[in-house]
Structures are given as C-alpha cells and as structure tokens.
Amino acid sequence: MRKEGLKFVLGGLGAALAGAGWAARGETCWLALSVLGVLFAAFCAYFFRDPDRTPPSDPALILSPGDGRVLTVAKEGPGSVTTVRIFLSVFDVHVQRLPCSGVVEKYHYQPGAFHMAMDKEARENERAVVTIRVAGRSETLAVEQIAGFVARRILTWVKPGDQAVAGERYGLIQFGSQAAVHLPESAEALVKPGDRVSAGLTPIARWR
C-alpha cells in the first residue's frame, strides 16, 4: 500500500475504535460507525495498493500510464497528435507509470474543473502534464494525470531533468480519475475504446 493512503486507513480504524468504545458503553447505535470505519479502512487499503510490475523491455513500445478502460483514441484539435484517454475507476490501481524512457523535459500543472472523469468535459479538469524527451529519438511525448469528480488531488513525483524509465512509478491520483497520452505522428496506437489496460504493462502504442 502507498504511504499516501495510511492517513485514510488510520482515520477509518480510529472511527471504528471510537464507535466500538461507545457501543461497549451500551450505546449500540454506534456499532454502525464501527462497521463503516472498518469498511472505509479496508477500501482505502485496497485503493492505495501498489503492486510490483515488470514492464516489457522493447523500447519501441509505449506503455499505458494507468490501469483502467480506454475511453477514446482520437485526434483532438489541430495537428497530428493522437490522444489515448484512459478512465480509472475507484476500483483500479491509481499509481501512474511512465509510458516511455527518456528525460523529463517539462512539468505543467493546470487548475481546472472537476467533471466526471469518464465524460468528455473532463478535458477541462485539473491536470498535471509531464513531457518526456524520448530516449534515442527526436520526439517528445506528453502524459497527463487528470482529476475527476471524486479525485481532488494529483501527486507527481518527477520533475524536469529527471531520467524517465518506462514502467516506473511517477504519480498518483486519489479516488477516480483519467490518464492520457498524446502520441506524435511517428507513433501508432495499438488499443481501441473499451480495451482494458494496465499501467507499465500494456503497450498502447508503438513507434513506427
């Protein structure tokens, strides 16, 4: 479990103990608080899980940054960039992983709205964008962490100048969100809407 989830787990267990204490004094109505506290703690421990993974070693592959379901694979706006958008439900692992190796060139945080993460309007949501200068190539690739209606906090653990290693952990979005990768023309998408993907494991595109 990620350390970021510890305060939520402890909060749930604290509520459970408080409810049990009041119930032991004869206030049985507090048993509900105890049960809810245990359930909340268990859910948070599950939500903040962070399984170890071994990414594919092929440098021609671009990996999924998040666990979830592919929403869209489409050109958005002018230019030749194809965007792959992935919806992360509250039941998916919410640790994001780098889609390719290289050097982190830019980091940009953009305040915004908090629309439902599976909706088209989520493109207006709060986001953090990491741009990577791809190893051995002239292109850059941008990957986004996008907040949702429930997710209200984005954590990004890389900064400009850092080495990017495909499949390595680089961030976390709390409680339901969206991830996106913006593919240059030299990359070919390998997924379609509805596909299930796993961060750091599933190839979502390949360099031509």
The answer to whether the beta carbons of residues 85 and 105 sit under 8 Å apart is no
Structure token digits, residue 29: 């109505």
Q: What is the pLDDT along the chain (208 residues), one digit of tens a residue?
A: 888 878 888 998 999 889 888 888 877 778 888 899 999 999 889 888 999 999 999 999 999 999 999 999 999 876 778 999 999 988 899 899 999 999 999 999 988 776 766 666 667 788 899 999 999 999 999 999 998 766 568 999 999 999 999 999 999 988 768 999 999 999 999 999 999 999 999 999 999 8
Q: How far apart are CA 133 and CA 98, in angstroms?
A: 12
Angle between helices 31-47 and 6-24 (to 10 degrees): 160
Given the residues 57, 177, 186, 198, select the one marked as catalytic.
Answer: 177
Q: How far apart are CA 94 and CA 49, in angstroms?
A: 8
The answer to whether residue 177 is catalytic is yes
